[in-house]
Amino acid sequence: MTDLIAESQEALRQERLEALARRWGPWALLAAVAVVLGVVAWQGWAAADRAAREARTGAYIAAAEEGPGALAAAADSLGPLAPLARLTAGEPLDEDAPQMWADLARLGAADLTLEQAKAIAGRTDSPWRARAWERAAVLAAQGGDFAAAREFLDEIVRDPAAPGSLKARAQDLATLYAAQAGGGPE
Protein backbone atom coordinates (compact mmCIF):
# COMPACT_ATOMS: atom_id res chain seq x y z
CA MET A 1 0.00 0.00 0.00
CA THR A 2 2.80 2.41 0.81
CA ASP A 3 4.38 1.66 -2.56
CA LEU A 4 1.13 2.62 -4.27
CA ILE A 5 0.99 5.93 -2.34
CA ALA A 6 4.65 6.67 -3.11
CA GLU A 7 4.10 5.89 -6.81
CA SER A 8 1.04 8.12 -6.99
CA GLN A 9 2.88 10.95 -5.21
CA GLU A 10 5.81 10.56 -7.65
CA ALA A 11 3.42 10.60 -10.63
CA LEU A 12 1.72 13.70 -9.21
CA ARG A 13 5.10 15.43 -8.77
CA GLN A 14 6.05 14.44 -12.32
CA GLU A 15 2.82 15.92 -13.72
CA ARG A 16 3.36 19.18 -11.80
CA LEU A 17 6.94 19.46 -13.12
CA GLU A 18 5.73 18.83 -16.67
CA ALA A 19 3.03 21.48 -16.30
CA LEU A 20 5.57 23.91 -14.88
CA ALA A 21 7.96 23.18 -17.74
CA ARG A 22 5.19 23.66 -20.34
CA ARG A 23 4.15 26.95 -18.75
CA TRP A 24 7.57 28.51 -18.00
CA GLY A 25 9.99 26.51 -20.16
CA PRO A 26 9.71 28.72 -23.26
CA TRP A 27 10.28 31.83 -21.15
CA ALA A 28 13.33 30.32 -19.46
CA LEU A 29 14.71 29.31 -22.85
CA LEU A 30 14.06 32.80 -24.20
CA ALA A 31 15.83 34.37 -21.20
CA ALA A 32 18.84 32.08 -21.65
CA VAL A 33 19.07 32.93 -25.35
CA ALA A 34 18.79 36.67 -24.55
CA VAL A 35 21.62 36.39 -22.01
CA VAL A 36 23.85 34.56 -24.49
CA LEU A 37 23.08 37.07 -27.25
CA GLY A 38 23.74 39.95 -24.85
CA VAL A 39 27.14 38.55 -23.88
CA VAL A 40 28.05 37.93 -27.52
CA ALA A 41 27.03 41.49 -28.48
CA TRP A 42 28.96 42.98 -25.55
CA GLN A 43 32.10 41.01 -26.41
CA GLY A 44 31.79 42.00 -30.08
CA TRP A 45 31.44 45.67 -29.19
CA ALA A 46 34.40 45.48 -26.79
CA ALA A 47 36.59 43.82 -29.45
CA ALA A 48 35.63 46.43 -32.06
CA ASP A 49 36.27 49.27 -29.61
CA ARG A 50 39.65 47.83 -28.64
CA ALA A 51 40.60 47.43 -32.33
CA ALA A 52 39.61 51.04 -33.05
CA ARG A 53 41.64 52.33 -30.08
CA GLU A 54 44.63 50.27 -31.14
CA ALA A 55 44.35 51.61 -34.70
CA ARG A 56 44.22 55.23 -33.47
CA THR A 57 47.20 54.63 -31.17
CA GLY A 58 49.14 53.03 -34.01
CA ALA A 59 48.35 55.98 -36.28
CA TYR A 60 49.44 58.41 -33.55
CA ILE A 61 52.75 56.57 -33.03
CA ALA A 62 53.40 56.41 -36.77
CA ALA A 63 52.69 60.14 -37.18
CA ALA A 64 54.82 61.00 -34.13
CA GLU A 65 57.74 59.09 -35.61
CA GLU A 66 57.43 61.15 -38.80
CA GLY A 67 57.51 64.42 -36.89
CA PRO A 68 55.34 67.35 -35.78
CA GLY A 69 54.02 68.09 -39.27
CA ALA A 70 52.66 64.57 -39.67
CA LEU A 71 51.10 64.74 -36.20
CA ALA A 72 49.38 68.02 -37.02
CA ALA A 73 48.07 66.59 -40.30
CA ALA A 74 46.81 63.39 -38.65
CA ALA A 75 45.26 65.07 -35.60
CA ASP A 76 41.70 65.22 -36.95
CA SER A 77 41.65 61.48 -37.64
CA LEU A 78 42.93 60.46 -34.21
CA GLY A 79 39.68 60.86 -32.28
CA PRO A 80 40.34 61.36 -28.56
CA LEU A 81 44.09 61.55 -29.22
CA ALA A 82 43.68 64.68 -31.38
CA PRO A 83 44.38 67.17 -28.55
CA LEU A 84 47.52 65.27 -27.58
CA ALA A 85 48.66 65.24 -31.22
CA ARG A 86 48.08 68.99 -31.49
CA LEU A 87 49.98 69.67 -28.26
CA THR A 88 52.87 67.46 -29.33
CA ALA A 89 52.96 69.16 -32.72
CA GLY A 90 53.08 72.56 -31.01
CA GLU A 91 49.70 73.68 -32.32
CA PRO A 92 47.04 75.45 -30.27
CA LEU A 93 44.12 73.42 -28.96
CA ASP A 94 40.59 73.81 -30.21
CA GLU A 95 38.28 75.73 -27.89
CA ASP A 96 36.17 72.62 -27.39
CA ALA A 97 39.13 70.48 -26.27
CA PRO A 98 38.55 68.60 -23.01
CA GLN A 99 39.64 70.42 -19.85
CA MET A 100 42.41 67.95 -19.06
CA TRP A 101 44.16 68.75 -22.36
CA ALA A 102 43.74 72.48 -21.82
CA ASP A 103 45.25 72.05 -18.34
CA LEU A 104 48.21 70.16 -19.76
CA ALA A 105 48.79 72.85 -22.38
CA ARG A 106 48.58 75.59 -19.74
CA LEU A 107 51.01 73.74 -17.43
CA GLY A 108 53.50 73.45 -20.26
CA ALA A 109 53.25 77.12 -21.21
CA ALA A 110 56.23 79.34 -20.47
CA ASP A 111 53.96 82.18 -19.32
CA LEU A 112 52.11 80.14 -16.68
CA THR A 113 51.25 82.26 -13.65
CA LEU A 114 51.05 81.14 -10.04
CA GLU A 115 47.28 81.71 -9.99
CA GLN A 116 46.80 79.57 -13.10
CA ALA A 117 48.87 76.74 -11.61
CA LYS A 118 46.91 76.95 -8.34
CA ALA A 119 43.62 76.91 -10.27
CA ILE A 120 44.60 73.70 -12.08
CA ALA A 121 45.88 72.15 -8.83
CA GLY A 122 42.64 73.08 -7.10
CA ARG A 123 40.53 71.00 -9.50
CA THR A 124 40.09 67.64 -7.81
CA ASP A 125 39.28 65.95 -11.12
CA SER A 126 42.46 67.11 -12.87
CA PRO A 127 44.92 64.33 -13.71
CA TRP A 128 47.66 66.99 -13.65
CA ARG A 129 46.89 68.10 -10.09
CA ALA A 130 50.23 67.04 -8.56
CA ARG A 131 52.18 68.45 -11.50
CA ALA A 132 50.29 71.74 -11.10
CA TRP A 133 51.23 71.89 -7.39
CA GLU A 134 54.85 71.39 -8.39
CA ARG A 135 54.69 74.20 -10.95
CA ALA A 136 52.99 76.44 -8.36
CA ALA A 137 55.79 75.68 -5.88
CA VAL A 138 58.49 76.56 -8.40
CA LEU A 139 56.70 79.77 -9.35
CA ALA A 140 56.25 80.74 -5.69
CA ALA A 141 59.93 80.06 -5.01
CA GLN A 142 60.93 82.11 -8.03
CA GLY A 143 58.89 84.93 -6.47
CA GLY A 144 60.74 84.49 -3.18
CA ASP A 145 57.82 82.95 -1.26
CA PHE A 146 59.51 79.79 -0.02
CA ALA A 147 56.90 79.13 2.69
CA ALA A 148 54.13 78.97 0.09
CA ALA A 149 56.33 76.81 -2.13
CA ARG A 150 56.78 74.31 0.70
CA GLU A 151 53.01 74.29 1.34
CA PHE A 152 52.39 73.47 -2.33
CA LEU A 153 54.98 70.70 -2.20
CA ASP A 154 53.32 69.28 0.93
CA GLU A 155 50.12 68.97 -1.12
CA ILE A 156 51.97 66.63 -3.48
CA VAL A 157 53.35 64.52 -0.63
CA ARG A 158 49.85 64.17 0.90
CA ASP A 159 48.20 63.31 -2.44
CA PRO A 160 47.69 59.53 -2.61
CA ALA A 161 47.34 59.71 -6.42
CA ALA A 162 50.67 61.51 -6.95
CA PRO A 163 53.41 59.35 -8.49
CA GLY A 164 56.18 58.28 -6.14
CA SER A 165 58.86 59.95 -8.25
CA LEU A 166 57.00 63.27 -8.05
CA LYS A 167 56.60 62.88 -4.28
CA ALA A 168 60.34 62.27 -3.94
CA ARG A 169 61.12 65.32 -6.07
CA ALA A 170 58.69 67.39 -3.97
CA GLN A 171 60.48 66.35 -0.79
CA ASP A 172 63.85 67.26 -2.33
CA LEU A 173 62.54 70.65 -3.44
CA ALA A 174 60.99 71.28 -0.01
CA THR A 175 64.38 70.63 1.59
CA LEU A 176 66.05 72.99 -0.89
CA TYR A 177 63.46 75.71 -0.35
CA ALA A 178 63.72 75.34 3.43
CA ALA A 179 67.48 75.89 3.14
CA GLN A 180 66.99 78.90 0.85
CA ALA A 181 64.36 80.42 3.14
CA GLY A 182 66.63 80.06 6.13
CA GLY A 183 69.61 81.56 4.35
CA GLY A 184 71.37 78.21 4.23
CA PRO A 185 73.25 76.75 1.29
CA GLU A 186 71.41 76.41 -2.01
Q: Which residues contact 136 (CB under 8 A, 6 or more apart)?
A: 114, 117, 118, 121, 149, 152
Q: What sign results for the dihedral spanned by CA atoms 82, 87, 88, 91?
A: positive
| CA angle, 71 then 120 then 78, to 5° | 20
What pLDDT is stored for residue 183 in this prediction? 53
The candidate with the shortest Cα–Cα distance to 169, out of 156, 159, 182, is 156
Per residue of the chain (186 residues), give pLDDT as tens: 678 788 888 888 988 888 888 888 899 899 999 999 999 999 999 999 999 999 999 998 999 899 888 988 998 898 888 888 888 887 888 788 888 888 888 888 888 899 999 999 998 888 999 999 999 999 999 999 999 999 999 999 999 999 999 999 999 999 999 888 775 444
Query: Residue 123 carries which DSSP code?
Result: -
What pLDDT is stored for residue 150 in this prediction? 94
| CA angle, 32 then 36 then 40, to 5° | 170
Q: 105 and 87 in contact (C-beta within 8 Å)?
A: yes
